Amino acid sequence: MTLLLSLAIAMLFGAGATLLMKSDLIRIVVGMVLISNAANLFIMASGLSRGFAPLYPLPEGALVSDPLVQAMTLTAIVIGFSITALLLAIAYRAYLDLDSVELDELEEAEEREESEQEKEWRPF
Partner 1 sequence: MYNVPTVRNTPTIRRLEGEHGSKQNRKHLELRFSRSQTHPPEDSPLTTLAVILPLALALVAAPLTALAGTIRTAWTAPVGVATAALAFAAVLWGWAFAGGGSVDFPWAPTWNLRLAFELDGLAALYAMLATGIGLAVVAYASKYLPLHLEHQNRPDTDIPRFHAFILMFMGSMVGLVMAQDLLLIFIFWDLTAIASYFLIAYDVHEEESRYSALMAMLVTGITAVLLLIGAMMLYVEYGTFLLPDLIETAEPGIYLTAAAAFMAIAGLAKSAQVPFHFWLPRAMAAPTPVSAYLHSAAMVAAGVFLIGRVYPLVQTSQFLLDALLVIGFASMVVGGILALSRDVLKQLLAYSTISQYGYVVFMFGLGGPYGAAAASFYVIAHALAKSALFLTAGAATESSGGETRLSHLGGMLRQQPLLAASSGAAAAGLAALPLTIGFFKDELFFEAALERGMPFPLLALFGAILTLTYMWRFWTGIFLGEERGESRPLPAAMLAPITILGVLTIVGGIFVAPFASLTEAAGMVSFNAETPISPAYHLDLRPVNLLALATFGLGALVIISRPLWAGAAGVFSRIGEVLGPQRWYDFSLTGLNKFSDRIHWLEVDTLRSRIVAILIPLGILVGAGLLVAAPAEAGIYSVGTVESADIPLIVALVLTAVAAVAATVPRNHLTLVLVLSASGFSLTAVYAFFGGPDVALVAVLVETILTILLLAVLALMPSAVLKRSETHGSTPGTKRRAYIVGGASAVVAFLGVWGALSRPTPEESVAAQHIELAPDAHANDIVTVILADFRGLDTLGEITVVGIALLGIAALLSRGRLW
Instruction: Name residues contacting partner 1, limited to 46-65 (CB under 8 A).
Output: 46-58, 64-65
Neighbouring residues of 28: CB distance < 8 A, sequence distance ≥ 6:
19, 20, 22, 87
Q: If binding is defined by CB under 8 A, does position 109 make contact with partner 1?
A: no
Size of the site for partner 1 (CB under 8 A): 88
Dihedral (Cα; 98, 99, 102, 105), 10-degree rounding: -60
Torsions phi, psi for 95 (to 5 deg): -65, -45
From residue 2 to residue 21, the character string flagging contacts with partner 1 as x (rule: CB under 8 A) and all else as - is xxxxxxxxxxxxxxxxxxxx
Tell me: does residue 108 bind partner 1 (CB under 8 A).
no
Q: Which 17-46 positions form the footprint of partner 1 (CB under 8 A)?
A: 17-30, 33-34, 37-38, 40-42, 44-46
